[in-house]
Structure 1
């Protein structure tokens, strides 16, 4: 990656032990860069941070309305959830309403990250199902759109109408032609864009509530659903959930694998995109918290903010050994 900027430091006692570099862009509603660190032209895979874009055709096609989808289901369509009961019960009920079972999904089984759910499966001698996959809500949204379009069951195929619609939404919101895709952990295509493009898309979502076209109304509904149901977007103890709760409706945020994080700020009509080049989640969480504080939507004294911005590092005995913190140049 070209010219990433230093963003996050790991200190052990008085020694700087590690440093994470990356790219970050804050974009205004008109698509222009407000501030940037690293290279706004860097091409990345947004991973799960782009789920709200992938969910747009679910609404613009009329599928969401035709199937009477709730705001909870819209939040799940944008989620990387923990596989807790609050997630899997809702996904299962959604599949039931479509007359489909777990075998209709194409995301693959995944052990739930929620400890209660994971330990429950172990005690029962059961194996994880596809509904436990963190992307099962997104995939059930894909299935809903597939049903609405009368398309075939292999909805993760890049040439499937669902994925063609997702690509069209991606290129429209980023304002760029995607140079290609990689296959995500859930088997769906993940389209590449620049850092500027991803931040531009988030700014487009942030201003959606001020516009009246079909795509903007759909985007506004997705943003509202994410902010109304932060526990469904991720889960307890997760950064997305904790920080959205802390901001009380001022932002919708979404993590992605390999150090990606985005934020949608409706009141400011701004979007943020972060990519840590070594893929470290601890650094992307610190960086997004720093930028949300910088823009005045996150209280730096809130426990959820402190837990991501300057978390203490403790050893197995509980001794304080160091701290994670943003570099001074990044937050100045």
Structure 2
């Protein structure tokens, strides 16, 4: 499948675990300049697709139509983890758009953030659809359907106009034919799409550098979406998660998805990084991404430090004793 060892984890001096995967680094021409494993591995974007799924919403200026704040609009691209400020903003979106929570196709659940989840349990609250990490995306797509006069009750179906626009948008960003994009159903019940890893990276480079997008309306929508992600990084995930840590850096456009996929566009360098961890681990994202930035000579050490602060390479046991380490072990194929 084109995967190579990316990260090794040691307990003492014994190799305990290996995380395999693939990495692709592309330039502004879309060419692969560095790779580990197969840079063209076909990969479902999962939630890494959210900034692109939000482009049709941004092009119709749904935020202006319904008087949404920037913080609320950023939720259209978020995998929020259900902290109090996320839920407050989501409730505001539903009120302003007059969308009923039951209209969201994502299932009722509890927040992903452990503290937020515990708070809801302490208050004896039931599961809710807006606690689902994809509820911001769903709200945006229903609002768009409502504004356009499309059937709001079937917005999640592949043949619905909003889903067809999303598919066409992704094909446009990736510069591939629509017919070449495999589809599946995501965890939240919406259609999801797969692209070669390098095409995922190139799409994120356009998100970071919208001057690479020829269509002016799409370029403007991408620029506004990316700016909101940087302005409200904690909305995109939560106060301690990889996406939010990266988006605090105004030079980066970044979003991860389930099962280990990640995309990052670098504005100043006009490069993009995409990666897939084959076992789906998100815990090794900081190790891999920080090591890639270091190998590229990235000059914002604060961003790299934030990643290592989230998940240190040093491995400690439950009592706080140092018991091992994780190491990025891949070599570039250039």
- Please state which band the TM-score falls in when normalised by the shorter chain: over 0.9
The question of 1:216 aligning with 2:219 is answered yes
User: Match of 2:325?
Assistant: 323
In 1, Cα distance between equivalents of 2:128 and 2:149 = 26
CA contact (8 A) 1:310 1:325 kept: no
- Aligned pairs for 1:34-45 (under 5 A) are 34-45=33-44
User: Match of 1:242?
Assistant: 245
In 2, Cα distance between equivalents of 1:281 and 1:68 = 35
User: Match of 2:182?
Assistant: 180
Q: CA distance change for structure 1 residues 58 and 127 in 2, over 3 Å: closer, same or farther?
A: same
SS of equivalent to 2:283: helix
User: Match of 1:266?
Assistant: 267
In 1, Cα distance between equivalents of 2:62 and 2:246 = 30
In 2, Cα distance between equivalents of 1:8 and 1:256 = 19
- Aligned pairs for 1:1-332 (under 5 A) are 2-152=1-151, 153-177=153-177, 178-209=180-211, 213-245=216-248, 247=249, 249-295=250-296, 296-299=298-301, 303-307=305-309, 310-327=312-329, 329=331
CA contact (8 A) 1:292 1:298 kept: no
SS of equivalent to 1:329: coil
SS of equivalent to 1:156: coil
CA contact (8 A) 2:54 2:140 kept: yes
CA contact (8 A) 1:81 1:234 kept: yes
Q: CA distance change for structure 1 residues 305 and 63 in 2, over 3 Å: closer, same or farther?
A: closer
SS of equivalent to 1:39: coil
Deviation at 1:293, TM superposition (A): 3.0
Deviation at 1:155, TM superposition (A): 0.9
CA contact (8 A) 2:290 2:304 kept: no
Q: CA distance change for structure 1 residues 238 and 331 in 2, over 3 Å: closer, same or farther?
A: farther
Deviation at 1:269, TM superposition (A): 2.3
In 1, Cα distance between equivalents of 2:270 and 2:184 = 30
In 1, Cα distance between equivalents of 2:290 and 2:247 = 11
CA contact (8 A) 2:251 2:267 kept: yes
Residues 215-241 of structure 1 show CA distances to partners (whole Å, capped at 9, x for unaligned) of 011101111111111110000111111
Deviation at 1:331, TM superposition (A): 11
In 2, Cα distance between equivalents of 1:297 and 1:160 = 44
In 2, Cα distance between equivalents of 1:144 and 1:271 = 31
CA contact (8 A) 1:255 1:262 kept: yes
SS of equivalent to 1:215: helix
SS of equivalent to 1:282: coil
In 1, Cα distance between equivalents of 2:190 and 2:70 = 23
What is the number of equivalent residue pairs in this alignment?
A: 329
In 2, Cα distance between equivalents of 1:40 and 1:85 = 39
CA contact (8 A) 1:91 1:137 kept: yes
In 2, Cα distance between equivalents of 1:107 and 1:16 = 40
Residues 227-269 of structure 1 show CA distances to partners (whole Å, capped at 9, x for unaligned) of 1111100001111112332x3x111221110011111212222
Residues 100-159 of structure 1 show CA distances to partners (whole Å, capped at 9, x for unaligned) of 221111111121123343222212222121111011111111111111211112211111
Residues 274-320 of structure 1 show CA distances to partners (whole Å, capped at 9, x for unaligned) of 10111111223321222233331541785413235743222122211
In 2, Cα distance between equivalents of 1:200 and 1:302 = 22
CA contact (8 A) 1:43 1:194 kept: yes
Residues 156-194 of structure 1 show CA distances to partners (whole Å, capped at 9, x for unaligned) of 111111111110101111112343211111111111111
In 2, Cα distance between equivalents of 1:19 and 1:138 = 34
In 2, Cα distance between equivalents of 1:66 and 1:218 = 15
Deviation at 1:63, TM superposition (A): 3.1
